[in-house]
Amino acid sequence: MSGGIKSEGVNMVSEQYDVPDGIYSESLDNRLEVLRDYVRENPKEFNNGFVNLHIHTNESFSVFTSPTEAVFHAYQQDVKYFGINDHYTIAGHPEFRAACDIAGLRACFSMEAISMDRDAAGQNFRYNDPDNPGRIYIVGKGVTSSLNMGSTGWRNLSSILKNVRRRNKKIAKKLREYASSRGVNVDYSFDDALALTPRGITTERHVVQAFCMKIQSMGKTLEKQRELFYKITDVEFTEEKLKDVGALLDTVRALLTKAGKPCYVEEDPGSFTTIENLVGIYRELGAIPTYPMVGFPITEAESDLEELVKSVKSKGMYAFDMIERIDENRAKEIIDVAKDCGFPVFIGTEHNTKKMIPLVGKIGKNRVFLDYFIKSAHMVLGHQLLTELCNFGYIDEKGRPRIQDLREGFELFAHAGAMELDKEKIEELKSKTLTERKKFFGI
């Protein structure tokens, strides 16, 4: 597929955000040129230097129609350190890199996926998915390479995506059949969900969104749309909800495709690889395996933070992700423990719904936390930089921290990442020997 932007027929973007139309262009070159013009016409200093290293784009599922649009909003909102974090794909990384270069943002490249601890599931033990015991979201922070076709990681990821697609096809079929059983014959198939993706990586949200769009297209008036959705769900939809793609999608998912609902499809066990396999994928990607913190409710795995550190380290993870919805007191507890053990903490907002929210929330703006978020951003940027120039990433070839003392390693990589080297300096370093490059960075 082209990677172009698909019209979604609804007002995805809040009117409070003034976005040039060209940012939504089907053409990557056009999007980047519009961003370049905007930055030239609206120069700025990043006075606060906010951090957001966890956002999704349209390459998985997001309110953002492209990585370029995400960067545009980050530039507007004083986000200096910005990170793409799509589910199951790094396809958006090249565009994200180009857009960040134009906007002067310091870019972090990551990927997110879900694994399964079957023993924990059998014991009803929860990690960072409060509704699903045994499931564990893991992020690969600071991706520095791609998977080689045929490699173990490539095969594992391909298998996951195949099983996810199989389930989504079944959901699409159930939605069409259920609507028909309720007297609404809709010309809808899984292909409609595929059309909302640039590279065919679908989620359940794509499937439901495409279904909603089809129903809306059948009703030329809001009153007719309300009638159609009522026939399918037995729920009255307000005009406001019909115009809000995020609220509509979330409501229809809750009514039709969640567990216990008429169009639910149980997830294939093959959709979730083991923790070991997923950590292995991230090692192949040259990334730092990272544990995302759920915050609240506090799960069994997260009830004792010091024990959590031991647990995730034993599984090959050496950093925490923190999502903005977390409570400030809980954020302080996590950061205090992270500081003691030498774990970086990366802050982010996800943006994996169709609701446009600020890229910096109360946690990210809290001056008590911001210095640590910036230092953590420097650490992963240092990992990316030293991997590129010195073949010296934070994680070694065996999946262990390259420097055994985590606090010492944190300092070294954060120091390297804090160097804001321009392209000319990087090219100059590339012309030097590996020994000379390592000496420059003090390694």
Residues 309 and 195 in one domain: no
Residues 45 and 179 in one domain: no
Rounded distance between C-alpha atoms, residue 65 and residue 55, angstroms: 12
Q: Which helix (H) or strand (E) holds 430?
A: helix 423-430
Q: Please report the pLDDT score of residue 295 as a whole number.
A: 81
Decide if 13 is inside a domain: no
Residues 429 and 289 in one domain: yes
Decide if 45 is inside a domain: yes
Residues 291 and 425 in one domain: yes
- Cβ contacts of 277 within 8 Å, gap of 6 or more: 115, 156
Decide if 250 is inside a domain: yes
pLDDT tens-digit profile of 169-194? Answer: 999 999 999 999 999 999 999 999 99
Residue 380, both tokens: 């992963």
Q: Structure pTM?
A: 0.93
How many structural domains does the chain have? 2
Query: DSSP letter at 255?
Result: I
Decide if 214 is inside a domain: yes
Decide if 4 is inside a domain: no
Residues 126 and 162 in one domain: no
* 4 pLDDT tier (thresholds 50, 70, 90): very low
Q: Please report the pLDDT score of residue 17 as a whole number.
A: 62
- Count the Cβ atoms, other than its own, within 10 Å of residue 262: 15
Whole-Å CA distances, 384 to 111, 141, 162, 393: 14, 9, 30, 7
Share of the chain above pLDDT 90, in %: 92
Decide if 419 is inside a domain: yes
* 196 pLDDT tier (thresholds 50, 70, 90): very high
Q: Please report the pLDDT score of residue 71 as a whole number.
A: 98
Q: Please report the pLDDT score of residue 7 as a whole number.
A: 36
Residues 162 and 142 in one domain: no
Residues 141 and 197 in one domain: no
Q: Please report the pLDDT score of residue 296 as a whole number.
A: 83
In a 3-state reduction of DSSP, which class is residue 88? coil
Q: Is 338 a residue whose pLDDT tops 70?
A: yes
Q: Is 6 a residue whose pLDDT tops 50?
A: no
Rounded distance between C-alpha atoms, residue 400 and residue 398, angstroms: 6
Share of the chain above pLDDT 70, in %: 96
Q: Is 402 a residue whose pLDDT tops 80?
A: yes
Query: DSSP letter at 317?
Result: -
Give the residue from 237, 257, 277 where a domain finishes.
257
Q: What's the mean pLDDT in 23-39?
A: 97
How high does pLDDT run on average in the chain?
Answer: 94
Across 103-254, where does the E strand assignment appear?
A: 106-116, 135-141
In a 3-state reduction of DSSP, which class is residue 347? strand
Q: Is 112 a residue whose pLDDT tops 80?
A: yes
Q: Is 304 a residue whose pLDDT tops 50?
A: yes
Its domain, for residue 353, covers 21-146+285-441
Backbone phi and psi for residue 292, each to the nearest 5 degrees, phi listed first: -80, 130
- Count the Cβ atoms, other than its own, within 10 Å of residue 297: 9
Backbone phi and psi for residue 112, each to the nearest 5 degrees, phi listed first: -130, 145
* 267 pLDDT tier (thresholds 50, 70, 90): confident
Q: What's the mean pLDDT in 11-33?
A: 79
Rounded distance between C-alpha atoms, residue 175 and residue 160, angstroms: 23
Rounded distance between C-alpha atoms, residue 27 and residue 14, angstroms: 23
